[in-house]
């Protein structure tokens, strides 16, 4: 569905409001085609985005050979599913497991694997998230509603222009026999960054 280009939204955060205002000016001056903007947003929100990453996770949950491939060479494994492109050239998969939870941050900028996660959330680029995730990862996770047992080790990974990460959350109990498509619906963008867990059916 095309989005509205007549922006009079007072409940938007400052960055979104500025972005929409800039888009409006560019459209009014004939410098940007609204249809092209819609196509880009649709592409990164749906076609190139969290659904891609969720498909990777679901396949890893259901295909041990692929999971080994992903653990060994995430870039090639992800590319084998047809997901390549912007900031997805150098990937590493981080597998959550018993007693271990992975969290991804980019402390210096906002390096982010668009190919498998889509558009980065505003909070991922914010200075508080980038600094506090390193100093107090357990507290940051709690603010996202992710409460982990005290004995769970939290590993924080710092993305760079040379290497980006995809968290493979633990497969929820009660999903035995589910196919990959059904499993993928349990995997959110936040779970693949590490600020959330996979949804429980």
Options 109, 126, 159, 188, the catalytic residue: 109
How far from 63 is each of 38, 57, 75, 92, 182, CA to CA, in Å? 35, 10, 17, 18, 14
126 is in an annotated binding site: no
- Whether residue 45 is annotated as binding a ligand: the answer is no
106 is catalytic: yes
Distance of alpha carbon 47 from alpha carbon 129, whole angstroms:
27
User: Would residue 131 show up in a list of annotated catalytic residues for this protein?
Assistant: no
DSSP state letters, 138-201: HHHHHHTT----TT-EEEEEE--SS-EEEEEPPPPTT-TT--HHHHHTT--HHHHHTSSPPPP-
On whether 110 is known to bind a ligand per the annotation, the reply is yes
DSSP 97: B
**133 flagged as catalytic:** no
Q: Indicate which residue of 111, 126, 131, 188 is catalytic.
A: 111
Among the options 110, 126, 131, 188, which is catalytic?
A: 110
Does 80 qualify as catalytic in the annotation? no
Q: Are 80 and 69 in contact (CB under 8 A)?
A: yes
The residues that are catalytic are: 106, 109-111
Question: Binding site residues for Fe(3+), as ranges?
Answer: 106, 109-111
């Amino acid at each position: 569905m095309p989005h509205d280009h007549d922006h009079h939204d007072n409940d938007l955060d400052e960055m979104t409001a500025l972005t929409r205002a800039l888009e409006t000016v560019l459209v009014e001056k004939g410098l940007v085609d609204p249809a092209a903007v819609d196509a880009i947003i649709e592409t990164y929100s749906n076609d190139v985005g969290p659904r891609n990453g969720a498909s990777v996770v679901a396949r890893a949950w259901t295909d041990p050979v692929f999971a080994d491939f992903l653990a060994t060479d995430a870039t090639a494994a992800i590319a084998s599913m047809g997901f390549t492109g912007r900031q997805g050239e150098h990937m590493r998969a981080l597998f959550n497991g018993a007693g271990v939870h992975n969290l991804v941050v980019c402390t210096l900028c906002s390096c982010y694997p668009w190919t498998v996660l889509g558009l980065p959330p505003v909070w991922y680029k914010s200075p508080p998230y980038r600094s506090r995730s390193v100093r107090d990862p357990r507290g940051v996770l709690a603010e996202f509603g992710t409460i982990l047992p005290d004995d769970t080790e939290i590993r924080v990974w710092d993305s760079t222009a040379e290497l980006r990460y995809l968290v493979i959350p633990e497969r929820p109990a009660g999903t035995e026999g589910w196919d990959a498509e059904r499993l993928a619906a349990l995997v959110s963008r936040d779970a693949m960054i590490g600020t959330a867990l996979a949804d429980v059916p």
